[in-house]
Structure formats: structure tokens, C-alpha cells
Structure 1
Amino acid sequence: MPPSTSQRNPWRYLRDADVLHAAVVTLLAVVLSAGIVWLGYVVHVWNIARRASTTLPGRWVVLVFGRQLVADQPEADYRGRLTRALAMLRGGMASRVLLLGGRSGGTRSEAEAAHAWLHGQGLPAGAPVELEQESVDSLENLRHARGLLQGGDRAEVLPPVALLTSRYHLARCLLLAQRLGFDAHAVAAEDALPCTPRYLALLLMEATYLMWIDLGVRWARLIGHRRMAARIS
């Protein structure tokens, strides 16, 4: 499948009335709770990041989330995810691996760059690896992965999946996957939760994203705003 010509651009969502509606609701919740609501999401993201395992018993369909490339190559966080995927393949824990990610500013997709990197690291011959090159964010990653796994038939039951990504990213991916109907389980790229200022900033940012998504959908359901609620379905 050729990669999408769409590129990763988080600001594109700010042109969407439903997304802005959710942002206003989220801001009001934070202000009216004196920040307590946001702190609750921070704790949730932190706990999932801290407790996530690096292995799962049995064999899994593994969804490896992409990350923006640097000079058309996987950067450090992305290489960590791919290293874990390679270990799962070599250890017999992966029955199927989907590399997720379209173009993020370079000349090739995140999935394509990841596949090339894995080959350079000794990807086993015949490894069950597939590329999903149409998505430009985590929600699209999961929607397109769902389509691949269902073969275009929405009535087909999805297999349980392992979501493989960086620890800071796991809570958001789990929430989105569950909203899209997956039986999803987390697999962390890092052996342990890094304790660095950069990682703390990423965790706080993820808590904000998660709160925005979760409160927006809850509010949409509360007021019966079907279009808004359907944004994550």
C-alpha cells in the first residue's frame, strides 16, 4: 500500500469545531476543579506508564505505534519501540506485527522507515510484519489497524492486540483502542519508566491530551452530540 500524502500536523485539529468544543469543556473542567481533574489524569497516565509490562504471555497481534522521523530515520523513542517489537518476534510472542504510521514530514512513511530499520537489525526471514502507511496520528493508527485486522468487514471480531509504544504514550493508546472496540493490552518499549525532565514533560502532555479526549467524549454523550461522540468510534 503506498503511503498517504497526509502528514503529521497536530494543529490541523484546531480547525475542527467539535475539537474546539471539547477543548472549551475541558478548560472549564480544569478551572472549576482548580486543576484537580487534570491532576487525576496525570496520576492515571503515570500509573499506567509505571506499571506496564514489557512482555505478555502467549502470542499476540502487536501494533507498533510510529513516531515522527528525524532525517527520514526512526529517532530514539521509536527505535526503542522497534527494539521491543524485534524482541517479541524473536521470542515467539508476536503472531503478527503491524507497523503503524504514515509520513511525518520526510520522504517516506514512519512504517517504511521502521521496516528498513528492523531489517538492518536482523529481522528474521519470513517475520509476519505488515505496514500501515495511511495514518498520521494515534487515532488514525488504530482505525486503519482495525480495518486491516477485519479485512474490511466491520462485523468480523477483532483479535486481542498488544499495543506497543513508549510508556508515556500507553494511557492514550489504551483509551483510544478501547473506544474503537479493541481488546487491548499494553506493552512498554522501555524496561522501566525513565525519570528525566523530558520524560516528565511528555507524561504531562499526554495527561492533557487524554483529558481533552476523554472529557470531550463524555460531554458529547451527556448532551447527545452524536457527531462529536462519533469522532472516536
Structure 2
Amino acid sequence: MPSSSTQRNPWRYLRDADVLHAAVVTLLAVVLSAGIVWLGYVVHVWRIARRAPTTLRGRWVVLVFGRQLVADAPGADYRGRLARALALLREKTAGRVLLLGGRSGGARSEAEAGHAWLQGQGLPADAHVELEQESVDSLENLRHARGLLQGGDRAEVLPPVALLTSRYHLARCLLLARRLGFDGHAVAAEEGLPRTPRYLALLLMEATYLMWIDLGMRWARLIGHRRMAARIS
């Protein structure tokens, strides 16, 4: 069982000097551009969310991103991701599935809860499903998935992967995956882009996260801040 130190705690980032540095740079960019920079990221996130496919051709390694559990069980967003993964397994386009996610405050990991849900929905007996149970955010999800796929050998070439998550989350996952050396391709959980106030709020929040990460990395490269640039590597 993962230790309590692996539980999700978003406030821990507020104690990180590099993260705060990136936040200041991002805020300045938004203020100096009168919000235009942020609107550009909103459009980018929306386009990826709207255009992402729900099917695959060929046979893929599929990374399924977890979501914080509700009473130790997958909530609606996470069930949508798991249902899409199950469909890909039944179609035989998902040759290997990695369920990503550690503990988010409950008694079991997101990956473990997701696996139990899949089994309850009729997971095929020949399905190749692995659990990654140590990560607490999307970046760690991908870092640990990379380690599993490379078997501990960083020199080994990573296979192309399908990043399966909710539409609002896809742009950030793609950015992080490509930064970590993945050849990542988006697969959406939902059939179409939901048009609800909640979903709009999630898209706007993701655009803010994406801007924070992307501008922080660009700034780090510009000023030669190696430690900051290495945060996503």
C-alpha cells in the first residue's frame, strides 16, 4: 500500500520556489497582455478537447489517468475514462493498459479502485492491465508510467502511447507527455464535449494550469534556469 506521503496534496506546490517563480512569470504575462495570452491557452485547450477521437486504429499501449475517488470508488469522470478503456480492450485496440493513480485520501489507490470497477464491468480475461499506484498528479502519472514501460532502462525507446482521460484534461496531459519523451496521442473518455457550466469551469482551470506549466518552462529555458527546466523531464 502506498504511504501517506503519496496522497494528493495540491497545497504542497505553494511551498515550492520554482512553482511560485513560474506563477509570478505567468501572472505578469497575463497582466501585460491584458489577458490575451490566457485566452490563447483557453482556445488551445478547447480545440484539443473538441477534436480528440474516442477510437484507435491498430494496437496500443493505453495510459488511463486516474481521478480523485469518491468514497473509495471512481466518480463520474473517472468512470467515463474506465468505460472508454474497457471499450478499447474489448475492441482489441488496447493491447496493454496502465491504470495510473495513487491514493487521493482514501483507503485504496485510484488505480486499484479503477481495476476493481473494470472487473465488476466484465474485464476480459485476457486483458493486459497494470496498476501504477504511487503517483499523485498528472506529471507523476507519466513519470512512473515511463519507468514501467522502460523497465528501469532510460535508454530504452518508449512505444507510442494513447493518453486516455477526460476531454478537459487532454491538453495538459499531451504537453507533459511530450516533454517527458512520449509520442503521445489523445483519446477522449466522453463521446462529445459536454456543454455544461461545470465543464466550462474545468476547461478554464485546465487552460490556467497549462499556461502556468508552459510559460514556466519557456521562461526557465530563456534564462537558463536548469533546475526549474528539469522539473518536467
> Structure 1-normalised TM-score?
0.99
Give the equivalent residue in structure 2 for 1:3: 2
Question: What SS does the corresponding residue of 2:64 show, helix, strand or coil?
Answer: strand
Q: 1:1-233, aligned counterparts within 5 Å? A: 2-5=1-4, 6-233=6-233
Question: What SS does the corresponding residue of 1:74 show, helix, strand or coil?
Answer: coil
Write out per-residue CA displacement over residues 128-162 of structure 1, whole angstroms, 9 at most, x where no aligned residue: 00000000000000000000000000000000000
CA separation in 2, counterparts of 1:18 and 1:199? 30
Q: CA RMSD in A?
A: 0.6
C-alpha distance 186-4 of structure 1, shift in aligned 2 (>3 A): farther
C-alpha distance 122-173 of structure 1, shift in aligned 2 (>3 A): same
Write out per-residue CA displacement over residues 30-53 of structure 1, whole angstroms, 9 at most, x where no aligned residue: 000000000000000000000000
Question: What SS does the corresponding residue of 1:87 show, helix, strand or coil?
Answer: helix
CA separation in 2, counterparts of 1:220 and 1:14? 18
Matched letter for residue 60 of structure 1: W
Matched letter for residue 37 of structure 1: V
Unaligned runs of 5+ in 2: none
Q: Using the TM superposition, give the Cα deviation of residue 190 of structure 1 relative to its aligned residue in structure 2, in angstroms.
A: 0.1
CA separation in 1, counterparts of 2:33 and 2:62? 38
- Name the % identity: 89
Matched letter for residue 132 of structure 2: E
CA separation in 2, counterparts of 1:167 and 1:65? 12
The total of aligned residue pairs comes to: 232
Runs of 4+ with deviation above 6 angstroms:
none
Question: What SS does the corresponding residue of 1:64 show, helix, strand or coil?
Answer: strand
Q: Using the TM superposition, give the Cα deviation of residue 181 of structure 1 relative to its aligned residue in structure 2, in angstroms.
A: 0.1
Matched letter for residue 88 of structure 1: L
Question: What SS does the corresponding residue of 2:102 show, helix, strand or coil?
Answer: coil
CA separation in 2, counterparts of 1:147 and 1:78? 23
Checking the alignment, whether the CA contact within 8 Å between 1:8 and 1:105 is kept in structure 2 is yes
> Structure 2-normalised TM-score?
0.99
